[in-house]
Structure 1
Amino acid sequence: MQTRGKNVIVIVNGWYSGRYLAPAFVGHGYECIHVSSTEKTSRFGYNPLDYIANFSLERSSLSELLARLHAYSVKAIIPGCESGVVLADLLSDNFAVPRNDAATTSARRNKFQMIEALRKTGVPSMRQFASQSLSDLLTWYSESELGTVIFKPTMGARSDGVVLCSSNNDIIAAFSENHGKTNVTGVVNTEFVIQERLQGEELMVNSVSCEGDHFITDMWIGVGGLEDRISTDEYAELVMRRTEIFEKVERYVLDTLDALGIRNGAAHCEVMLTVNGPRLIECGARLSGAQLFAAVEEAQGYSQLSVTVETVLNPRQFRWRANALRASRQEGLRFVYMCSNRAGHVVNNPDLSPFAELATLERMIVFPEIGDYLPKTHDSAGRPGYAFLLSSDNQALERDYVRFRELESKMFQRLLDA
């Protein structure tokens, strides 16, 4: 059987949470093509069987890749993860598909340029400076009188290369450690940004946009963590709609999305709610990276993934659908970041059976496998797994959370014990 229609969805670097996109579209009767910007794929990669074709930019020139894609009737081009944002924008600019302007891609990918885009449009933002020169970075830091700052590669992702610095020596060490290193997105670090360290409550905000109209699909507030570490929250709680914090942060994120030129597709914003109001930490023009969407579906009847798919397939219903979803019921959902207090090589597969006693456990995933090296958890890049606890009973959530940590500690100990 052969078919032909405007039904092909192109997914660029469909790894991490992007691996869920193709099965969702295929389930609606559409066909998908995978494009990778690099031959190096994620361990949490795509299933080639989900796609009718797989193309790599490293195996062909951009013009050759475009020619191959123009042989199909393309309906949408979507980045699967952070490393696919630039290429997805570039490809989309050559097709009649919903897209974000490729001329402003840097504001959605470069960690310095995105904060500059907010400043230029009058959206409240943090102080910062970027350079490829260590001496320039040190000069700005000394003159800023900021004390503790965040140092990061401008083209990085997650916590890779992100360092908390409180002195010139800290910055020198961070620069030396990361300059010339290939980061998790496959980009060689040459430019770095120093940003003021924001204080307050950290929130993760997921959204979907359609021709400049935005809908916040879910919002999370981080709980716990260490003062001298980055991204060490113990868990995140789903923020309920119609609460003061949701509405305050929502207004800010809508302005942020406009400032960054995000008109179509998913976005994941990290925001600090400071005493002076919300401030953007950074934003990715793609799905939330660490997410088990089925748990969010159970909690509120939809997720960023399902809204993204629905928007691509039926953009005319976007506003009506968003208004309807705002009124839907939400249950309490706790997104638990798993943590290993030990390090070593994994010699046993994880045994998840003891967790069956937890009535609120909705979803759980553990990454390490036999032969892997399990590092001691100290930031988001090294988290060995995730879990979601679901209940409208806050006491039940807290009780199961405490028990979860006890079982988790024993599980990781068994992984490493011969």
Structure 2
Amino acid sequence: MVSALRDQGLQVPRQALVATGDDLVRALDHVGLPVVVKPSASSGSDGCRICHTEREAVEHFMAIHRCTNLLGTVNEAVLVQEYLPGTQYVVATVSMDGQHHLHELSRSCVDERGGTPTRRHTISHRRLGPEERPVIAYVYACLDALGIRHGAANTDVRLTGAGPRIIEVNARILGPTLDPDPYFNAYGSSHQHLLIESTLAPADFRRRLRLEYAPPNVMGKAFLRSVESGVLRGIPGLEAVRRLPGFHSATSLPEVGSTVSDQTLTTGSTGIVYFIHEDESLVEKSLDVLLSMENAGGLFDVAAA
């Protein structure tokens, strides 16, 4: 994907696909440090690590090479990619006949836990500002270069000091199992809905293509995480979360008695909380409170397994 974009003249991160530790060491001369070492095909931040030294990169390569990833396939090769500093965005689109409709633009809060990038939450934008417009133009150029003329896509991109740089383009809807209800509250539609509309009601979708991006509300989406692994005894902090301003819903919560261990993967297996409001600062404050509760261990009650 990145090679195809580079061939089309787009600015992309330096990277290399490596199959041995020696290949990796040679690749670092081209890619530089720090780097992100990750499976060439997986999801949810599985096996992804930020490495600041050659030793860290080699050790992580050895840890994930030839291991089974989250998708159930073996990591025969590993991707080494230039680390991109800057704000990370999620851009969800639906395309028809080479024209792209922007459904969602969200900013990601990404922590580093022991070198593992961990997406804590996202918060959407209601308008495109001077920083966001170049990001969207870059994403559209990526979709064009990759030949995505029809259907849904979601793109992760970072706005670096040198401009937008791609992380990945996923030619599919954003989170196939995500609850559409909060999306309708925030945007008036969901990614799934727009994809179906573009197929079954193309005339209605073409009218959308002429509209400016201006959703009525802001959506904050938090991926809940337990600071401890073990057997879930309860979620005592949930009632306090429900009382936070802008709270909309909590979905995919784990059942009492189940084992929780997902501390870094972005799979939603330990729950997702949505906040919806027209005031972005209000949603940001609620997300900050939730993050503080999680970090203090005040959300989940977990017994050691």
Name 1:314's counterpart in structure 2.
Answer: 201
Work out the percentage of aligned pairs sharing the same amino acid: 27
Name 1:274's counterpart in structure 2.
Answer: 160
CA contact (8 A) 2:37 2:78 kept: yes
Distance 1:180 1:371, change over 3 A: farther
Name 1:181's counterpart in structure 2.
Answer: 67
User: Which structure shows the bigger proportion of residues in helix conformation?
Assistant: 1
| In the alignment, structure 1 residue 364 sits paired with structure 2 residue 253 | no
Distance 1:209 1:273, change over 3 A: same
Name 2:300's counterpart in structure 1.
Answer: 412
Name 2:216's counterpart in structure 1.
Answer: 330
Distance 1:276 1:395, change over 3 A: closer
Name 1:134's counterpart in structure 2.
Answer: 21
CA contact (8 A) 1:218 1:303 kept: no
Match of 1:210 among 93, 96, 101: 96
Distance 1:359 1:199, change over 3 A: closer
2: CA distance, partners of 1:145 / 1:126? 9
Q: Which amino acid aligns with 1:306?
A: H
Q: Residue deviations 1:158-215, cap 9 Å, x none?
A: 2112122233332332222222222122222101111100011110111111232211
RMSD: 2.7
Q: Please give the TM-score of this superposition, normalised by the length of structure 2.
A: 0.88
Name 1:151's counterpart in structure 2.
Answer: 37
Which aligned pairs between 1:19-418 and structure 2 lie closer than 5 A?
114-141=1-28, 143-144=29-30, 146-223=32-109, 225-226=111-112, 229-289=115-175, 291-324=178-211, 326=212, 328-348=214-234, 352-375=238-261, 377-381=263-267, 384-405=270-291, 409-413=297-301, 415-416=302-303
Q: Residue deviations 1:121-155, cap 9 Å, x none?
A: 011101111132332122121x2361210111212
CA contact (8 A) 2:235 2:299 kept: no
CA contact (8 A) 2:15 2:31 kept: no
Q: Residue deviations 1:318-364, cap 9 Å, x none?
A: 3222224x365421222222222222122447784444323411121
1: CA distance, partners of 2:241 / 2:38? 37
Q: Secondary structure in 2 aligned to 1:334?
A: strand
User: Which structure shows the bigger proportion of residues in strand conformation?
Assistant: 2
1: CA distance, partners of 2:20 / 2:213? 51
CA contact (8 A) 2:229 2:259 kept: yes
CA contact (8 A) 2:254 2:270 kept: yes
Rg larger in 1 or in 2? 1
Q: Please give the TM-score of this superposition, normalised by the length of structure 1.
A: 0.66
Distance 1:329 1:375, change over 3 A: closer
Query: Unpaired segments of 5 or more residues in structure 1?
Result: 1-113
Query: Unpaired segments of 5 or more residues in structure 2?
Result: none
Distance 1:327 1:231, change over 3 A: same
Q: Which amino acid aligns with 1:207?
A: T
Distance 1:270 1:316, change over 3 A: same
Q: Secondary structure in 1 aligned to 2:111?
A: coil
Q: Secondary structure in 2 aligned to 1:267?
A: strand
**Structure number with higher relative contact order (C-alpha < 8 Å, ≥ 6 residues apart):** 2
- Count of residues in correspondence between the two structures: 302
Distance 1:244 1:131, change over 3 A: same
Distance 1:394 1:212, change over 3 A: closer
CA contact (8 A) 2:122 2:222 kept: yes
Q: Secondary structure in 1 aligned to 2:167?
A: strand
Distance 1:264 1:320, change over 3 A: same
1: CA distance, partners of 2:145 / 2:289? 43
2: CA distance, partners of 1:412 / 1:159? 22
Distance 1:152 1:396, change over 3 A: closer
Distance 1:395 1:276, change over 3 A: closer
Q: Which amino acid aligns with 2:190?
A: S
